[in-house]
Structure 1
Amino acid sequence: MIGRRRTTGLLAAVTLFAAMSGCGAPDGARQAATTPSSKVEKARIKVGVLPVVDVAPLHIAIKNGYFRNEGLEVEPFIVQGGAAAIPGLVQGSLDITFGNWVSFIAAEAKGNAKNAGGLKLISDAYQAKPGMFLILVKGTGSIKTLRDLIGKTIAINTFNNISELTTKAVLEANDIDPKRVTLKEMAMPDMEAAIERNVVDAGFMSEPFITRAQRSSGQLAILDAASGPTDGIPIAGYGTTGRFLQDNPHTVAAFQRAMAKGQRDASDRATVQALLPDYAGVDRDTAKLVHLGQFPTSLDGTRLQRVANLMKTYGLLQTDLAVEPMLVRGPDN
């Protein structure tokens, strides 16, 4: 696939594999190859993405040449959600994918990527702020209060992901048993129309779909899913497999360096806003109104462990899981 590497490259990969096997950093976190001049093993990589605000830094990094400067060409590939993308990682049709932390953690706990060296988290992407994770309902419908959600159907983009976790957590925080609500899997771009046609009663949306549904259909927010127990929760990032990391340590490190620059640039709202019409398919007026979260520039094990702990609390994990061994520290972490 990548040809015979130079001896130094092979030694770096072997050393990294030994560290991943438990002979490296004592805290369990691993670090990708850090030398900027190291030649990448795979110059063209396929990265799973969603047409959501969360991936703006990746598009910024592409546009500004950050990947190109690292010797990489990134091919974005649209996926429905993190859980749906993980089989692509395991099978090798994707090299890296964007996904919510819940999907990565749940898949690792189930051993879904065991034959591919497990799942490795390589770059943070997005963290919640108020107004960016909303459950919307029909503006002219019968749902007026949270209690009206009982017995109703809420669309989420995939099961075992951040939308399922935060929906259950905030419902329970508002004295509504999550078991009294039906969750239905549906692609996020389809939710607005499904609500209007009464296929579902509500939809869990992120931006830019929130603002678009509010502007074009007059849909209303009935619940902020990034509030109470999920306030400020880490949402999503990028992951790969241990097998890909073992074979391509310099490629992963180059990806991390480029993404860190994209994440940094995304702190400027105007930069994100200008890109949304191109990759998310929203008009420029809608792009001006979207609610933005935070774009972290480094992986934080303590923050991500909070996600795993909430998953255990709300039944998305059956046993405790330590997130730290999944982390691959970037060159600047």
Structure 2
Amino acid sequence: MRRVLAALAAGAFLVTASACGSSGDSTGSDKASSSGGTTKVKVGVIPIVDVAPLYLGQEKGFFKKQGLELEVSLAQGGAAIVPAVASGQYQFGFSNSTSLMIAQSNNVPVKVVSNGIASTGVQGKDFGALTVKGDSSIKSADQVEGKKVAINTLKNINETAVRESVRKAGGDPDKVKFVELAFDQMPAALDSGQIDAAMVVEPALATVKSQGAREIASPLVDVAPDLTVAMYFTSTSYEQRNAAVVKRFQAAVAESLAYADAHPDEARQIVTTYTKIPAAVLAKVTLPAWPAEPDRASLDALQKLGQDDGLFKTAPDLDKLLP
């Protein structure tokens, strides 16, 4: 198990530490601190539009109502958050579905507790897109063969999605030169020509569009209609020892997702509290869908693509991973 966690954490865990600041207050214990009837839990997230409901729920008092106090830490991608939750540094985390499948297939003890986000399911109107500079000669996904394409973490959901877009357009995904880059660094890299294309999600997508970038594909939509892109999770040991806390977290997240879905303007506005997106760009942000439950059919499709891409040593057991 130690070797598996080390493999997951290589490089990515260092990103988490730098993004979160000091992690010296972590005890490594599965138990969160409690005081005065309130349980304090650490949650690892990515500073993107996906987690707007969490911040909105915190602001609206949904977590406080459940006796929870959140300490939110930021990371570059779900691949960095998984080992932090599995090791007890965080009690809960937000991660893309592929990272969680990879962890489960490697017997890393993680368990999904709540849905996170889903694609809008609409080509050209999703919260994530494969983009190129406005004056680029690249017009479609198959034309990124031999080109540098930025994704936030290698061998993960965005790579799988881009590969599927390339494949559907008639290209060879094995010829794409994938490079790892944080979402918030992609706009400048694309604008300067450091990369040829970028798989970006909001709010970085709105930023690259404001710089004149063009969408050439909607990779998340290409994977499956209504794709469950990411979910909230915990470690199996924390769930076993703190079942009541997990249930309260589930209840607060469920209320937060429903509220964000019903109040898009408030969800959009809360993004300004944890990103540096300008107001003019914020108005153009495409929000994801925040359904109450994961879409199993879409996860089955994502798993199959991951297997085809060689991401799993053994097929992940979705029945064990999902709530």
Q: Does the pair score TM above 0.5?
A: yes
Match in the other structure for 2:218 = 224
Match in the other structure for 1:121 = 112
Q: 1:19-69, CA deviations, whole angstroms, 9 ceiling, x for partnerless residues? A: xxxxxxxxxxxxxxxxxxxx9998111101111111011011100001111
Q: 1:265-294, CA deviations, whole angstroms, 9 ceiling, x for partnerless residues? A: 111211212212112321222222111221
Match in the other structure for 2:91 = 95
Q: Which of 270, 274, 296 is residue 291 of structure 2 equivalent to?
A: 296
Q: Summarize the Cα distance change of 1:147–1:178 in structure 2 as closer, same or farther, 3 Å threshold.
A: closer
Match in the other structure for 1:314 = 309
For residues 201 and 61 of structure 2, what CA distance do their matches in structure 1 show?
27
Q: 1:226-278, CA deviations, whole angstroms, 9 ceiling, x for partnerless residues? A: 33343321100111111111121111111100000000011121121221211
Match in the other structure for 2:81 = 85
Please give the residue correspondences for 1:108-257 in structure 2 after superposition, counting only pairs within 5 Å.
108-111=104-107, 113=108, 118-129=109-120, 130=122, 131-215=126-210, 217-257=211-251
For residues 229 and 327 of structure 1, what CA distance do their matches in structure 2 show?
19
For residues 36 and 294 of structure 2, what CA distance do their matches in structure 1 show?
22
For residues 295 and 248 of structure 2, what CA distance do their matches in structure 1 show?
19
What SS class does the counterpart of residue 277 from structure 2 fall into?
coil
Distance apart, 1:140 and its partner CA: 2.5
For residues 275 and 44 of structure 2, what CA distance do their matches in structure 1 show?
14
For residues 163 and 49 of structure 1, what CA distance do their matches in structure 2 show?
17
Segments of structure 2 that go 5 or more residues without pairing to the other structure are 1-34
What SS class does the counterpart of residue 220 from structure 2 fall into?
coil
Higher RCO structure (Cα 8 Å, ≥6 apart): 1
Match in the other structure for 2:60 = 64
For residues 66 and 157 of structure 2, what CA distance do their matches in structure 1 show?
31
CA RMSD of aligned residues (A): 2.0
Whether contact under 8 Å (1:305, 1:322) holds in the other structure is: no
Match in the other structure for 2:30 = none
Q: Summarize the Cα distance change of 1:301–1:214 in structure 2 as closer, same or farther, 3 Å threshold.
A: closer
For residues 139 and 322 of structure 2, what CA distance do their matches in structure 1 show?
42
Match in the other structure for 1:73 = 69
For residues 307 and 62 of structure 1, what CA distance do their matches in structure 2 show?
31
Which amino acid in the other structure matches residue 110 of structure 2?
L
Of stretches 170-179 and 280-289 in structure 1, the one that deviates more from structure 2 is 280-289
Of stretches 221-230 and 273-282 in structure 1, the one that deviates more from structure 2 is 221-230
Which amino acid in the other structure matches residue 79 of structure 1?
A
Match in the other structure for 2:282 = 287
What SS class does the counterpart of residue 142 from structure 1 fall into?
coil
For residues 59 and 74 of structure 2, what CA distance do their matches in structure 1 show?
18
Q: Summarize the Cα distance change of 1:319–1:259 in structure 2 as closer, same or farther, 3 Å threshold.
A: same
Q: Which of 28, 39, 44 is residue 40 of structure 2 equivalent to?
A: 44
Q: Summarize the Cα distance change of 1:325–1:302 in structure 2 as closer, same or farther, 3 Å threshold.
A: farther
Of stretches 169-178 and 255-264 in structure 1, the one that deviates more from structure 2 is 169-178
For residues 86 and 128 of structure 1, what CA distance do their matches in structure 2 show?
22
Q: Summarize the Cα distance change of 1:228–1:147 in structure 2 as closer, same or farther, 3 Å threshold.
A: closer
Match in the other structure for 1:275 = 270
For residues 306 and 141 of structure 1, what CA distance do their matches in structure 2 show?
32
TM-score by length of 1: 0.80
Q: 1:181-224, CA deviations, whole angstroms, 9 ceiling, x for partnerless residues? A: 01111111001111122221111101111111111x21111222
Distance apart, 1:319 and its partner CA: 3.6
Q: Summarize the Cα distance change of 1:324–1:298 in structure 2 as closer, same or farther, 3 Å threshold.
A: same
TM-score by length of 2: 0.83
Of stretches 82-91 and 298-307 in structure 1, the one that deviates more from structure 2 is 298-307
Q: Summarize the Cα distance change of 1:296–1:150 in structure 2 as closer, same or farther, 3 Å threshold.
A: same
Whether contact under 8 Å (1:40, 1:250) holds in the other structure is: no
Distance apart, 1:304 and its partner CA: 3.0
Whether contact under 8 Å (1:260, 1:298) holds in the other structure is: no
Q: Larger Cα Rg: Structure 1 or Structure 2?
A: 1
How many positions carry a matched residue from both structures? 284
For residues 273 and 103 of structure 1, what CA distance do their matches in structure 2 show?
26
